[in-house]
Amino acid sequence: MEVLNLIRQHRILLAVATILILAVFYLWNDISSVSLDFLQGRKPEVQTVLKCKTTHLDGSVLTARKELQDTIRLLIHFNEKPSDDARIFLAENGIRIYPDSWVYEYLVADATVSSLCFADSLPGITGISTGE
């Protein structure tokens, strides 16, 4: 009987504690990822690393967290399918295009963050995104 009286007297406190515990369980993944990012140090966003004016880079590329030497997978929008010479030229400048990835007007490529300014300045490229 004493237990029931204790529960009845403190039912609001027990309800608040239950809600807090459920909220912690619900948000656990978000809390742990924030703490892991804080402990490991976060990489800067691409837009803060690049030192050039970007007109064709999508927001998904600019907000990606990468260092200057990191590689990023891209969807590159071209006016027309690039020739083999153009692919070799891009590869020499740090942009590796997957040979059989031409779909409509897009190609899949891997590029270092440092080569994004070069890719953005090319006249045949009309858009660069991560596909996300």
> Can you say whether residue 41 is alpha, beta or left, with left for phi > 0 and alpha for psi between -120 and 50 degrees?
left
Element (H, E) at 84: helix 84-92
Which of the listed CATH numbers 1.10.3720.10, 3.20.20.70, 3.40.50.2300, 3.30.70.80 matches domain 46-129?
A: 3.30.70.80
Give the tens place of pLDDT for each residue, 72-106. 888 888 888 888 888 889 889 988 988 888 888 88
pLDDT band per the 50, 70, 90 thresholds, residue 61: confident
Helices 28-40 and 11-26: crossing angle in degrees, nearest 10, is: 60
Domains of the chain, by residue range, sit at: 2-40, 46-129
Global model pTM greater than 0.75:
no
